Structure formats: C-alpha cells, structure tokens
C-alpha cells in the first residue's frame, strides 16, 4: 500500500505523515497524473501528424502515376524521375533553409515578420513530426509543375527549380499565411482585419503557388514540338493531340491523390486530442469527399453536354472526370473545416466548371499543359480561397479559429450586415501569392532559358527524353514514328559527333588562339543550331 504514496522526492511513511504531508502527497500524485496525460496526448498527436504526413507524401506516388500515364511512352522514365527529384530537392531545400524561412522564430504575439530568421538546418527544432508534415506540403507544391513541363524540360533545370521553390519562394508564402507572425496569418494574436486569411490546408499556399509557377514556366518554355506549330514554326490549323500512353495509370494516380488528400486536409488540424479537434477533422474529411465527387460530376456531364451540342455525339470523357475530381479537391483544401457540407458540394461543383473553362482557354492561347495542372491547381486554388470568403460558416469559424465576427459574405449578407471583411482578406492573400510568385519565378525561369539550361534539345525532344537522358525507352512505341530506328540513329550520330568535337576542342585548347576557339564554336553552332529539328531529323522525313 505504501507504493501508492510515492512523491517526487521518494516515499512517505503513512504511519508518520501529517495532514499537510498527506495534502502535498495528493497534489504530487495529481501532478504526476497530469504529466502522464500530457505526454500521452503529445504522443498521440505526434503519431497523428506523422500518419497524416505519410498520406500527404504518398501523394507523390499519385502525381508520378498521373504524369507517367499522361505522357507518351518515350518520356515516361524522365517524367517519373522528375517526380522523384521533387521529393529529394524539397527535402534538402526545406531542411537547410526552407523550414527556417517558413517557421523560424515563430512567437505567438510577437512582431509581424516577412520571413523566418532561425532554425536553419533544423537547429533547435524538436517537433520533427511538424517538420515532416510541412516538408510533404512543400514537395507537393513543387511536383505540381512536373506534369506541365513534361516531355521538353531539362533535368538540371528541374532540379534547380524544385530546390529553389521549396527552399525560398514557397517558405515565404508559408510564413506570411501559416506562421504565428505572418502579416496575413489567421493564427496571429491580432490577425489582419480581425480575421486574417483562412487557408487551412493550402488551396492558396500550395496549389495556387504551384499552379501559377507552372503557368509562368509553360509560357517561357513554350509548347511541345508539333503541339501547336509544325517543325518549321508554322501555326497548325488545329492543335495536334498528344494522348497519354496509359489511362489506367492516370486514374490510378487520381485515386492515390484523392486518398492522400485526407491526410492533406484532415491532418492540417495538427492535433487530435484537443477539444472538438476530432470532430473538425471528421468534417474536413467529409467535405473533402463531397467536393471531389461534385467536381467530378460537374466536369464529366458538362463536357458531355458541350460535346453533344458541338458534334452530335455524347461521350463520357474519363480524363475530364478525374481532373474535375482533382479540381474539387484543390478547391476545398482552404475551407474544409469552415464550410458546411452543402457548401463543399457547391465549391466542388463550381471547381469542375472552372476547370473545363480554363482548360479550353489554355488551348486557345496555345499554352501547352500536358496534365492540365494549371486549370486544376492554379484556377481552383484561387477559387478555394474565394469560396471561404463567400461561404465560411459562423459556427464552423468559431469552432476552428475561435472567432466568428466575420463570416463568409453570403452568410453576413443573409444576416443583413453585408460584411465582406473575410472575402477581402482572402483576396489580399491571392494578390500577395500571385505577386510574389510572379516577381521571383519569372526572372528565374528567364535566366534558366537564357543560359540554355531550360528546354531540352530539339532532337532530344523528338526522339524522347528517355533515350536522350536515360539511354533507352521501355514499352511498346505504338505508332510514334519518332521512335523509329531512323530517328534514333540520327540522334546517336549527332551525339557521337558532339562528343568528338568536344574532345577535339579540349585537346586543342592549350595550343589554340582565342580566334581559333571562336571559330570552332561558331562552326559547331552553325551545324547544330538551337531550337530547330530541320537539320537533324532524317532526310526521309516528309
């Protein structure tokens, strides 16, 4: 029985203790019990966050499958390696400086800052589960661009881009919106206009950032050879379709992404043991499901109606369906904890319609997006933020953020106040993200393009990046004439000649004059001009 009387210093003898000693002993037992409960809660929350991070990271497999199925067989290896490099570049960039810029020096109630200033290389960081969760988000933002630039982007440029985005550009956005000291953060002690920008899981922070980056990169890189222009640069009357080689992989990728999105949204609650957090996480999961479903239905049947009116033939387009589903998932990511289920359906349905419209607009503008990442992520990242400003529920805001003075505009309009404060904060967030990404990423991609590091060589693109960068292409080539032995032999002849010339220049460097060096370079450039296929494809090409 004496063992039940343990204190912090040792055991008391029940036969000799006074009333005061008994009271101290009971206090100590209560404190010990509270400490054990606190440690248990901490462990449960850490596991919850690690599990959610694992689901989010598994989305990398979804993106890889989706991109691999959306490209031609001659580019599958290259596309999947770029998805792998996203994860690798993001982990190193976020470890060295990204996390520090995003959350370094966070202090509740502290001064507003533009960027974090401490915790580089995870120094003095103890919540490793939180780092893992945030790294998975950073990797997701980077990998959005992979499919957009498929089949024409150099490997080196892609590794530079993913590291730069996750190490600097993305963390500044995270700090401004998710840290306790960001000027737009809803987690500040005194948030902007009493509400701050609400983006629970990253419609803006992750998806708008990645989608806008993809748009800028696509504009600078240009379309795939033969997509909108022939090999002599003449505009085609109709864009040439480049169908992906495996619809099965595309749909598998879409399902993996949907599955991982439950960790993305419900995991962003961050803890599960605090009051009402379990209920909030469950609501986030339900809203995620409803928005995905309604987005799919909207895109599928709207496309069917449009197709029937234009051609007289009603067809169910699988690609439109799963992209509508992804559009719904992106749009609900910001407000999954503050929208009612009916509002999640409205948000997802609208997202499916927006996806269709912007996807068609990109084709008319001759912007080549191999996987429709721009309409899915950029457009519906913005819509997700706006939907919060319109549809956020008073009760849900109170439960999730502890304040409800500024609900969505539709709610406040129904209450007679017409308060658009939250909508204004959301629009400020869109302007900030759009401005920051544009100002930083545009010169970055222009710099890569100027150095010749961005776009793959014209003949490399024609024969496929798998052969050009990885030595071989797997699978059946189907009717793709560019993978015929004639084209591949032309590529290898050119590659051998380039190697021979490079070796010759290296041998002659010590004895040649500057004029001789320039003469050699000019001759090399004239024979293999950049940006054209005309002089390097087989002579038998029509």
pLDDT per residue as tens digits for the range 3-21: 444 445 554 455 555 666 6
pLDDT confidence of residue 472: 75
Give percent of the chain with pLDDT exceeding 70. 81
pLDDT confidence of residue 541: 36
Spatial distance between the Cα atoms of 356 and 191, rounded to a whole number of angstroms: 36
- Round the average pLDDT of the chain to a whole number and report it: 86
CA distances 284 to 18, 135, 265, 338, 392, Å, are 54, 21, 6, 8, 13
Asked if 351 and 330 touch (Cβ cutoff 8 Å), the reply is yes
Residue extents of the structural domains in the chain: 48-459, 484-527
How sure is the predictor about 484, in pLDDT bands with cuts at 50, 70 and 90? low
Closest CA to 200 of 269, 246, 302: 269
Closest CA to 89 of 140, 138, 162, 172: 162
CATH of domain 48-459: 1.10.3430.10
Spatial distance between the Cα atoms of 382 and 166, rounded to a whole number of angstroms: 20
Spatial distance between the Cα atoms of 452 and 448, rounded to a whole number of angstroms: 6
Return left, alpha or beta for 195; rule: phi > 0 is left, psi -120 to 50 is alpha, else beta: alpha
The average pLDDT across 63-69 equals 96
Calculate Rg over the CA atoms of the chain.
28
Spatial distance between the Cα atoms of 351 and 431, rounded to a whole number of angstroms: 20
Asked if 483 and 72 touch (Cβ cutoff 8 Å), the reply is no
The average pLDDT across 142-146 equals 94
Q: Which of 96-100, 220-224, 496-500 has the lowest mean pLDDT?
A: 496-500
Model confidence, pTM: 0.87
How sure is the predictor about 534, in pLDDT bands with cuts at 50, 70 and 90? very low
pLDDT confidence of residue 424: 97
pLDDT surpasses 80 at 221: yes
Q: Which helix (H) or strand (E) holds 468?
A: helix 465-470
pLDDT in tens, 177-190: 999 999 999 999 89
Closest CA to 455 of 60, 121, 69, 150: 150
Greater confidence (140 vs 540) lies with 140
Both tokens assigned to 517: 């060096």
Q: Helices in 365-420 by DSSP H: which ranges? A: 373, 380-391, 394-401, 409-414
Asked if 239 and 307 touch (Cβ cutoff 8 Å), the reply is no
Closest CA to 347 of 386, 312, 318, 376: 386
Length of the chain: 542
pLDDT confidence of residue 460: 87
pLDDT confidence of residue 143: 95
The three-class DSSP label of residue 11 is strand
pLDDT in tens, 261-302: 999 999 999 999 988 999 999 999 999 999 999 999 999 999
Q: Which of 126-135, 409-418, 430-439, 490-499 has the lowest mean pLDDT?
A: 490-499
> 340: buried, middle or exposed (CB in 10 Å: 19+, 13-18, 0-12)?
middle
Closest CA to 69 of 147, 6, 161, 134: 147
């Amino acid at each position: 029985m004496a063992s039940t009387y343990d204190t912090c210093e040792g055991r008391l003898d029940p036969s000799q203790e006074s009333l005061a000693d008994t009271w101290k002993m009971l206090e100590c037992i209560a404190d010990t019990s509270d400490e054990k409960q606190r440690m248990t809660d901490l462990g449960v929350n850490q596991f919850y966050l690690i599990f959610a991070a694992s689901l989010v990271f598994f989305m990398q497999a979804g993106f890889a499958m989706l991109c691999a199925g959306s490209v031609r067989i001659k580019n599958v290896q290259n596309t999947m390696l770029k998805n792998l490099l996203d994860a690798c570049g993001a982990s190193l960039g976020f470890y060295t400086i990204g996390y520090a810029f995003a959350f370094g020096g966070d202090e509740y109630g502290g001064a507003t800052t533009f960027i974090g200033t401490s915790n580089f290389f995870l120094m003095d960081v103890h919540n490793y589960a939180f780092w893992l969760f945030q790294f998975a988000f950073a990797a997701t933002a980077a990998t959005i661009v992979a499919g957009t630039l498929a089949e024409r982007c150099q490997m080196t440029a892609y590794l530079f881009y993913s590291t730069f985005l996750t190490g600097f550009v993305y963390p500044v956005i995270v700090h401004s919106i998710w840290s306790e000291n960001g000027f737009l953060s809803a987690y500040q002690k005194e948030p902007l206009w009493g509400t701050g920008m609400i983006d629970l899981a990253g419609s803006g922070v992750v998806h708008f950032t990645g989608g806008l980056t993809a748009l800028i990169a696509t504009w600078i890189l240009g379309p795939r050879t033969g997509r909108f222009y022939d090999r002599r640069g003449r505009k085609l009357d109709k864009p040439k379709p480049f169908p992906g080689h495996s619809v099965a992989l595309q749909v598998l990728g879409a399902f993996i992404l949907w599955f991982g999105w439950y960790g993305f949204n419900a995991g962003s609650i961050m803890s599960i043991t605090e009051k009402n957090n379990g209920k909030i996480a469950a609501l986030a999961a339900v809203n995620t499901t409803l928005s995905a479903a309604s987005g799919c239905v909207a895109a599928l049947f709207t496309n069917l109606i449009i197709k029937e009116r234009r051609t007289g033939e009603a067809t169910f387009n699988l690609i439109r369906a799963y992209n509508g589903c992804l559009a719904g998932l992106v749009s609900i990511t910001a407000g999954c904890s503050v929208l009612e289920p009916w509002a999640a359906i409205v948000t997802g349905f609208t997202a499916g319609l927006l996806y269709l419209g912007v996807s068609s607009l990109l084709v008319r503008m001759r912007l080549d997006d191999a996987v429709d990442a721009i309409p899915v992520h950029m457009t519906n990242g913005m819509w997700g933020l706006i939907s919060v400003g319109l549809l956020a529920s008073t009760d849900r805001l109170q439960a999730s953020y502890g304040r409800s003075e500024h609900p969505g505009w539709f709610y406040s309009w129904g209450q007679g106040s017409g308060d658009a404060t939250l909508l204004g904060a959301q629009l400020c967030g869109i302007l900030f993200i759009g401005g920051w990404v544009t100002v930083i990423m545009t010169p970055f991609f222009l710099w890569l393009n100027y150095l010749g590091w961005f776009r793959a060589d014209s003949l490399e693109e024609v024969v496929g990046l798998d052969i050009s960068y990885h030595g071989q292409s797997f699978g059946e080539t189907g009717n793709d004439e560019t993978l015929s032995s004639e084209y591949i032999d032309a590529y290898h002849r050119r590659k051998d000649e380039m190697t021979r010339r490079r070796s010759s220049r290296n041998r002659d460097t010590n004895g040649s004059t500057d004029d001789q060096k320039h003469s050699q370079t000019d001759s090399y450039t004239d024979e293999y001009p950049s940006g054209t296929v005309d002089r390097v494809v087989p002579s038998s090409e029509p």
